[in-house]
Amino acid sequence: MTGQLANGPTLLVHKSYQHCRRLPEVLQVLDDELGQSVALGVTLKLPAQPANRARQFLDQFRPHVLKLADPVIFEHPDQLGDPAKKNNQKYCRYMKVPLPVSPDQQWISELLDLQQDVGANALLTPTGVVDGADPDHEFAKALDWTRAARQINPSLPMSVNLTFSRDWLVNPRLRHRLLQELVESQERLWYLRFRWAVVKPPYSQQRKVELLEGYKQLAEVARAESKVLKELRWFR
């Protein structure tokens, strides 16, 4: 596994559903232009395509590019899954069966192996939504799964993979709890997804001051605590 989780900024590009064939060319141009000033990465949804197609896509990128295969646990039918997304259940067995109620070593091993099999050079924990109704309990559950994943192979580069509603950035109580976890946790690598409302007009920038302020505080705390933070937006 040769990808690098850089301390500095990383431009993380998502495999699109359409017109993704030229993404390797785009990243190659960016790589040549940016040099070492910005790290580059690419991520895809693990259950959105057959494993061989995911492998073919990730293999097109240079070895030092960060390559992630996101298991998107939040899209599981037991969480926030959309029944219309049949591909999730077609290509990955773990999307067809109930989620384990407690950390299951065999289930975790399967998901980590799937990520490596398609060419990921850094791993994401098989963790999903952190509910704001009981944040302490939800964080405890997520980190139990993270510890179980690390026990399988402590040497693998692995980020804590969590999904939140926008309230975790907007609501002061929830934001404080998220920042507290970031500060107090021994985990250094974080891959966080926040659920946005649909932006209008389409493809425009987020303008909600409260949300942007939440992002700012999150980034400042991560930097102060030397945490590596990869953040994703997600439209409901």
User: What DSSP letter does each residue of the chain carry, written as one string?
Assistant: ------SS-EEEEEPPSSS-TTHHHHHHHHHHHHTTSSEEEEEEEGGGS-HHHHHHHHTTS-TTSEEEEE--GGGSTTTT--TT-HHHHHH-GGGTSPPPSS--HHHHHHHHHHHHHTT-SSEE-S--B--TTSHHHHHHHHHHHHHHHHHH-TTS-EEEEEEEETHHHHSHHHHHHHHHHHHH-S--EEEEEEEEPPPSSTT-----HHHHHHHHHHHHHHHHTT-EEEEEEEE-
Q: Which domain holds residue 61?
A: 10-235
Domain count, the chain: 1
Domain for residue 5, yes or no? no
pTM for this entry: 0.88
Q: What percent of the chain has pLDDT over 70?
A: 90
Domain for residue 220, yes or no? yes
Domain for residue 181, yes or no? yes
Domain for residue 2, yes or no? no
Domain for residue 219, yes or no? yes
Indicate which CATH number applies to the domain containing 75. Answer: 3.20.20
Domain for residue 3, yes or no? no
Question: Does residue 206 have a pLDDT over 50?
Answer: yes
pLDDT tens digits, 108-131: 999 999 999 999 999 999 999 999
Domain for residue 54, yes or no? yes
The per-residue pLDDT for 87 is: 57
Domain for residue 4, yes or no? no
Report the mean per-residue pLDDT for the chain: 87
